Structure 1
Amino acid sequence: MTDITELEEEVKHLEEEEEHTTAGLTRLQLIVFACLVAFFILAAYGFYLIYSLTKDVSQLAVDVNTMSLSVDKNMGIIAGAMGDITGRMADINSSTEIMASTAQNMADSTQQMAQSTDNMRYDVRRLNNSISGPMDAIGSFFPGGRKTRNPPPIYYPPAYQMPPNYQYQAPAAE
């Protein structure tokens, strides 16, 4: 009987171990099943991303091809326009050189006009001084005429000097 009892205990022990192992396997199956579902979801999303990227790159290639054809078609016009721009820049450069010399001539003329205006001011002052004496004498004969002479204050004009490195150039004959 002992053998049967031992065998029954052994069987009971094996049944408990089987239940324990079965419970562990069930938990493991749930984990593996969840992982497989997550893997399939991620794989499907990865496939979608790769498909979208391929589609976008394909569209980009078509757009680049279209743009390349458009640029190729218009390149002759662009090259001609650039040549025209180059010619106009050369014209602008020569015009700028002419303007620079003209501006210098204008500066010289303005300097001469300032000197001439100062000379006229000086001559008018001398005329005023030379006429005011006799006019005062004549005015004193008339009623309400000036009795005293009050000349304007002395004015010293500025001295006009050319810069030390200035070289005068005569205007070019055209």
Structure 2
Amino acid sequence: MAGAFAFPDFFEYPPYFTIQPTPETQRKQIELWKSLILRYCQHHKTHVLNLEEVDHPLFSNPRCDRKLSLDARRTLVDELAKGGGAEWLGSGRTRCVVLWRSVASWGEAMHAWACELGHQGTVVTVGEIADSREGPGGDFVGVDAEIVVRAARYLEATGKAAVLVGEGGDDTGVKFL
């Protein structure tokens, strides 16, 4: 997706940067934000969000001098997580994985990539997969290691791969079956 990201019209309105108290208005507001978070992350190939990043362009708009509070950001991610669009990383609820593509979809694409390149029966590190420049559509260019590991775990559960954790913790490999 080349080009600048086009923010929706609501991003210019200050009230949208405060969680609204009226249930129906709040529901609509949250749906707009959830869609924005997913589209923004997909456009920028962002997989992990740090909600404590005060001036993150997704959560702040200097043109209308507004920012979502940390509590509002958590509320939005909680709602996104309910539908499978995000998962919290750790108990502090400050970082999350945004799943603009499902783990199963990432896993199937990774398996197709491995088969296409003849990696069946071999071990490929998570870093090699994430840094890959080969494969259908460059699916894994710039993908976060967190997504690769989750996709590998999915493949392991479906019998298409085995996840091999190295001694150092950062040398995890995937053996494609």
TM-score range relative to shorter protein: under 0.3
TM-score by length of 2: 0.21
The structure whose Rg is larger is 1
TM-score by length of 1: 0.22
